[in-house]
Amino acid sequence: MKAIILLISTLIVSFGYGQVQCAIDVSINEGASFDICPNSGTTISASNGFVDYFWSGADSFSSQAITPTLMGQYIVTAIDGSGCLSKDTIIINSLASFSISSVETTDCWGAYAILSTSGGNTFLWSTGETASSIIVSPVVTTNYTVNISDGVCSDVLIQTVEPVVAEDYSIEDTFYVAPNQPQYIVGPTGFVSYVWSPTDQLIDSTGGGVVFRGTFSQTIQVQSTHATGCTLTNDIRVIVVDPTIPNGFSPNNDGINDFFEIPNLTEYEGKLTVFNRWGEIVFESKNYQNDWGGTCETDLCMGNRILPEGTYFYLLDVQGITFKGYVTIKK
């Protein structure tokens, strides 16, 4: 449009337009300055008596009346039937400034977007809510609209919101440790403060991670506070593995002490490996059930599987914790 106006101006100069004294000057009916509501459909117009009208400035038009959507200066150039050229100027000001924004947030309340508006005092969202800001959690891309007004102007704003991906606040919730073995425990990330309890077996229990060092199993609780104010509570079970391992048994089928029994092993899952004096494996079980009765259970033994009396070496692995020692078979 601006190119058309430039072309017309060139033609005016080339063919003598504008050399004739205009009978009247063009004027904009709304004056030198005019206030409108944004997107209100308000029109402004130039005075009658001219053949062609060309508007330039904030936007371009080629009609006597225009509906501006952009604020700023507009210049109308009017040409009458005799080629006379006349101009007038107007400043279009906005009576209101409405806006909408979206901020994606993920915390212990979930994953959501906060839609906020500015510039109005009454609101009606497509969700039916009437606050200046709302919280949405779309599962698909969704357009949200709000009818906003300040009592003088009104407008309809649209905000497109993509699904918000939730943060993973899960943490490791079970630890196996040997007595007095230090174990570092980490709370969920992304929080500003942490409260741990109980603290009787904890070292440095003020930050996002603590050290457990104790002699008995315990459930540790951590309450984490997010910057948004929400709190998340996690329970962490620390199991102190302290099996009572006998140093001997007598597999003579008298019903007394016939098996290598570790009384509290049923609380854990343990792998037992037994070696003879030459370092050869004579028994192995990935999930030992207190059922070894002094027999050789590997391919090492042929024929008679009854092991002779003597001292044997064992390795007991419980959740990555290894216990080792000697056990004596005596019949």
Single out the residue of 209, 272, 201 nearest to residue 240, CA to CA: 201
Tens of pLDDT, residues 197-230: 999 999 987 789 999 999 999 999 999 999 989 9
Nearest CA among 233, 240, 235 for reference residue 323: 240
Domain extent, residue 263, equals 248-329
Q: How far apart are CA 178 and CA 318, in angstroms?
A: 10
Q: Please check whether residues 53 and 20 belong to one and the same domain.
A: yes
The total of structural domains in the chain comes to 4
CATH of the domain at 199: 2.60.40.10
pLDDT band at 1 (very low <50, low <70, confident <90, very high): very low
Confirm whether 136 is domain-assigned. Answer: yes
Q: What's the CATH code of the domain at 280?
A: 2.60.40
Q: Is residue 168 part of a domain?
A: no
Q: Is 191 helix (H, G, I), strand (E, B) or coil?
A: coil
pLDDT tens for 259-268 read 999 988 877 7
SS3 24: coil
pLDDT in tens, 16-28: 444 456 789 999 9
Tell me: do 211 and 292 sit in the same domain: no
How large is the average pLDDT for residues 33-43?
A: 91
For 150-217, where are the E strands, in sequence order? Answer: 154-161, 174-177, 183-186, 193-197, 202-203, 209-212
166 located within any domain? no
Instruction: Judge whether 169 lies within some domain.
Output: no
C-alpha gyration radius of the chain = 43
Boundary-marking domain end, from 94, 117, 135: 94
Average pLDDT value for the chain? 90
Same domain, yes or no: 88 and 7: yes
Do 252 and 236 fall within a single domain? no
CA distance 307 to 258: 13
Q: How far is CA 8 from CA 1, 50, 124, 230, in A?
A: 11, 15, 47, 65
Element (H, E) at 6: helix 2-15
Q: Are residues 14 and 71 in the same domain?
A: yes
Say if 167 falls within a structural domain.
Answer: no
9 and 88 part of one domain? yes
Token pair for 69 = 């959507």
**The tokens of 66 are what?**
């225009």
